[in-house]
Amino acid sequence: MITDVEAGTPTLCRLQLGNELRALRIALDLTARQVCKKLIWSPSKLSRLEAGENSSVEPAEIMALCEIYGADPELRAKLVGYAAVTKTKKDWWQSAEYRPVIQPGAKAFFGLESTATVLQTYEAEFVPGLLQTEAYIRAIYKRAHAGMSPYDVDKLVTIRTTRQEVLHRKKSPLKYTAILNEAVLRRVIGSPGLMREQLAHIVHLVESRPNVRVQVVPYAAGVHPGMNGTFFVLHFPERAALKPLVYLENLAAAWVIRQDDAIERYEDAFADLSALAAGPQESLNLIRTAIEEHRT
């Protein structure tokens, strides 16, 4: 539980609010449909609220829900406080400058990423965003966003480099573990020189930041649990009493998985990948070998 509501980030407050509202509803054995009927809401509205997906929440609507659930005055004040934070505070990526170039699914992930204390990811195709150099970012966007104005590309680059600050924040830097398919090291993005710079950056981060860990799944490992694609497992501050979440994305959509059994499968897959991958030091050696191979 967040002890100081006003100190919470908007994302953390939305997640905590949704978590507690859902718990109140379930404790009364009420279905979402029953609650929505009382408030003349669409089912999707309550679903998004309980999932913490709304960018802001109206305090008056929380008061209406608290009335239905019979929440005591202290709990009502806390939940309304959460809603107030979402109205008065905005995350940096919600600014008018960046909002037009960010996809909705990405905004949801930025909030989760900035709030998480632990982030574990498996990446099969390219260097994960938190480890990318600016040149690598630009090379990817040049291909992925052909036709976008240079001005908007600059915004996207700034967004990604700003996101990387979670690894360097003074208070509780993100504990980040990335497991990479060996193909990530071999695929040339931009140019061989750019790849050498990118891979050297990964080595530097791992050696200079104790909160950053990188492992590589070598080709020799054969079939492995990450062959269905990239995924992210996020853990949140203990004080928030929030369960881990899994984030997935593809060309058409992005979504968050909240079901306990599905999350457990992804956590098990990540643990299996970690055991199957080369160890941290051996992985750095594989990255250094790839750096030299990009010289030829």
pLDDT in tens, the chain (296 residues): 454 554 468 888 999 999 999 999 999 999 999 999 999 999 999 999 998 888 889 999 999 999 999 999 999 999 999 999 998 888 888 888 888 888 877 888 998 999 999 999 999 999 999 999 999 999 998 887 777 888 888 999 999 999 999 999 998 999 999 999 999 999 999 999 999 999 999 999 999 999 999 999 999 999 999 999 999 999 998 877 889 999 998 877 888 998 999 999 999 999 999 999 999 999 999 999 999 999 87
Residue reference for tokens 């209406």: 64
3-state SS assignment for residue 106: helix
**The predicted structure's pLDDT at residue 3:** 47
Burial class (CB in 10 A: 0-12, 13-18, 19+), 246: buried
CA 10 to CA 114: how far, in whole Å? 10
Nearest in space to 81 (alpha carbons), one of 66, 59, 103: 59
Which residue in 136, 187, 131, 188 sits closest to 163, CA to CA?
131
Whether pTM exceeds 0.85? yes
Q: Tell which residue, 163, 133, 149, has the closest CA to residue 100.
A: 149
The token pair at 204 is 């530097």
| pLDDT value, residue 241 | 80
